[in-house]
Structure 1
Amino acid sequence: MRNDATAAEQLLWQCLRSRKLDYKFSRQMPVGPYFADFLCRELKLIIELDGASHDLSIDHDARRDAYCRSLGFQILRIGNDDVMTNLEGVVSHIRAMLAQTHPQPLPPAGGE
């Protein structure tokens, strides 16, 4: 699957790989019987890129999303067209999602 990546997947992978957004992402990773386009295990976040083929698999995508959510994953769906025409905006949106998902540190011990 990695060798058959779409242009949008290849482009987004260049932005996600090597902890460029401070978190480790893997691509085409199994989650139960399904595969996630991009997976951040630390934050339990899945990024799915949707192209024309996803229009034909709405039921499959819904079952996959429900399964992944039942395991505690959040799913961010992004259109291939958005990646190809607005990569900066897509990366900004992912950064915001990461900041929102990031577990907050505990307050200092001892109180006031």
Structure 2
Amino acid sequence: MKRTIIPYKPYLKELARQLRQNSTLSETLLWNELKGKKLLGLDFDRQKPLSNYIVDFYCKELMLAIEVDGDSHDYKYEEDCARQAELEKLGVRFLKFDDAAVKRDISNVLREIEGWVLKHQ
């Protein structure tokens, strides 16, 4: 299966680098479980620019974005929905997790991701 490459605005590359350097605790915890193909041998990128946006984690092979939503998302609900809808038009699928869920019960979050992957591969 040929992977779809989603182009992005060049200025997002530096912003993504800054986001990687200033990750939240929950993003760091989840990244530690996703990096190095630890989850079912899948290759994930962190703070990945796609189109006009940056997603927290992205697996090109599955066109799967994983988002960890914390307090900063409480005030951006409409913006987040529009962003997700635009990326879904490009074929990106989303899994979203609450910041607190990642911190308190990462094993359950990982089980949920694995279950989704096994169902949608």
TM-score normalized with structure 1 length? 0.89
Q: CA deviation at 1:87?
A: 0.6
Note the residue ranges of structure 2 that are not aligned, 5 or more in a row. 1-18
- Match of 2:98? 79
Identity across aligned pairs (percent)?
35
Distance in 1 separating the partners of 2:87 and 2:118:
21
AA of the residue aligned to 1:14 = N
Structure 1 residue 20 and structure 2 residue 38: aligned? yes
Runs of 4 or more off by more than 6 Å in structure 1?
none
In structure 1, list runs of 5 or more residues that go unmatched: 103-112
Bigger radius of gyration, 1 or 2? 1
Could you tell me which residue of structure 2 aligns to residue 42 of structure 1? 61
Deviations 1:50-99 (A, max 9, x none): 00110100011011100110011110010010000001000000100111
Q: What's the TM-score once normalised by structure 2's chain length?
A: 0.83
Superposition pairs of residues 49-64 of structure 1, within 5 angstroms = 49-64=68-83
Superposition RMSD on alpha carbons, in Å?
Answer: 0.6
